[in-house]
């Protein structure tokens, strides 16, 4: 397959999987077993393409956060908690990078994380049946979401969105749509910062800069943004009246398949 078409296909995969609790990074790594292996910059930057879709879906909410904090204490509180979650993610993420965390070369760790994550989804959904929906965001939610995002980054296959959403649910934000919104909003600065970090590293290295197929990265970024927009709109409608259990079954089926065939 032509390299540009491969990049566009990876953009489609990213856009479809970034917001679903099934691991976009895991799916990208799996796809690259058969397609050309891509750089860390490519894999992270196209996630930012999907995250760009969130800024469009939540544009009214983002405008309120940016302009209403002076007069609205509730908005200030939301900003502080979003900032706390992002700050924890950034600090622990940099620490993980310094300690040598990197994407795996094989699909086995991804498969294991997919299966474990599926079991976690079942457990959390069973627990949620006993809980009343709560929409308030506590400080425990902010800290937990920040830590969960780093765990997802260290163990591809976990799913950043799944880790953040289920951390929020377990720590008291038991309203699925509200938990998803908080996770997605925290993901905006998280993924843009991660992309900026990888971009800086690549631009600072003449060899890496010359080797990166920039036109393919841009095509994949744009594709992920368009597909991601449609996906997140669908997911928000879905979680308004459904559980995440089907995604748990999907994760387990995919994980087992990978262990058997790869």
**Percentage of the residues of the chain whose pLDDT score is greater than 70:** 97
pLDDT higher than threshold 90 for residue 216: yes
The confidence score (pLDDT) of residue 103 equals 66
Name the residue ranges covered by the structural domains of the chain: 3-261
pLDDT higher than threshold 70 for residue 102: no
The confidence score (pLDDT) of residue 198 equals 87
pLDDT higher than threshold 80 for residue 1: no
CA dihedral 209, 12, 21, 198 (to 10 degrees): 10
- Out of 5-14, 83-92, 149-158, least confident range: 149-158
Q: 157-175: per-residue pLDDT in tens?
A: 888 899 999 999 999 999 9
The reported pTM is 0.87
Mean pLDDT value across residues 55-76: 91
- Out of 68-72, 118-122, 246-250, least confident range: 68-72
pLDDT higher than threshold 80 for residue 100: no
The confidence score (pLDDT) of residue 25 equals 78
Please give the angle made by the CA atoms of 176, 181 and 183, to the nearest 5 degrees. 95
Q: 10-60: per-residue pLDDT in tens?
A: 999 999 998 899 988 788 878 877 888 888 889 888 988 988 998 999 999
Is 161 in contact with 27 (CB distance < 8 Å)?
Answer: no
pLDDT higher than threshold 90 for residue 155: no
The confidence score (pLDDT) of residue 85 equals 95
Two tokens at 233? 């709109």
pLDDT higher than threshold 80 for residue 177: yes
Residue appearing with tokens 């506590």? 138
Q: Tell me the average pLDDT of the chain.
A: 90
Residue appearing with tokens 């308030």? 136
Residue 92 to residue 122: CA distance in whole angstroms? 28
């Amino acid at each position: 397959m032509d390299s540009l078409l491969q990049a566009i296909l990876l953009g489609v995969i990213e856009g479809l999987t970034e917001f679903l609790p099934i691991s976009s990074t895991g799916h990208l790594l799996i796809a690259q077993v058969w397609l050309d292996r891509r750089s860390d910059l490519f894999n992270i930057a196209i996630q930012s393409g999907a995250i760009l879709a969130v800024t469009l879906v939540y544009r009214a909410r983002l405008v309120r956060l940016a302009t209403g904090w002076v007069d609205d204490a509730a908005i200030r509180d939301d900003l502080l908690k979003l900032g706390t979650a992002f700050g924890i993610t950034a600090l622990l993420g940099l620490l993980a990078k310094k300690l040598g965390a990197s994407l795996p070369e094989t699909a086995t760790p991804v498969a294991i994380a997919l299966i474990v994550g599926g079991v976690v989804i079942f457990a959390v959904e069973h627990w949620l049946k006993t809980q009343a929906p709560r929409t308030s965001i506590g400080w425990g939610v902010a800290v937990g979401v920040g830590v969960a995002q780093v765990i997802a980054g260290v163990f591809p296959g976990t799913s950043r969105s799944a880790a953040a959403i289920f951390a929020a649910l377990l720590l008291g934000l038991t309203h699925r749509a509200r938990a998803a919104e908080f996770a997605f909003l925290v993901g905006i600065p998280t993924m843009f910062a991660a992309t900026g970090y990888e971009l800086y590293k690549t631009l600072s290295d003449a060899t890496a800069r010359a080797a990166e197929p920039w036109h393919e990265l841009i095509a994949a970024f744009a594709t992920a943004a368009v597909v991601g927009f449609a996906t997140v709109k669908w997911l928000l409608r879905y979680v308004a009246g459904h559980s995440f259990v089907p995604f748990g079954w999907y994760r387990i089926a995919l994980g087992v398949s990978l262990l058997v065939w790869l």
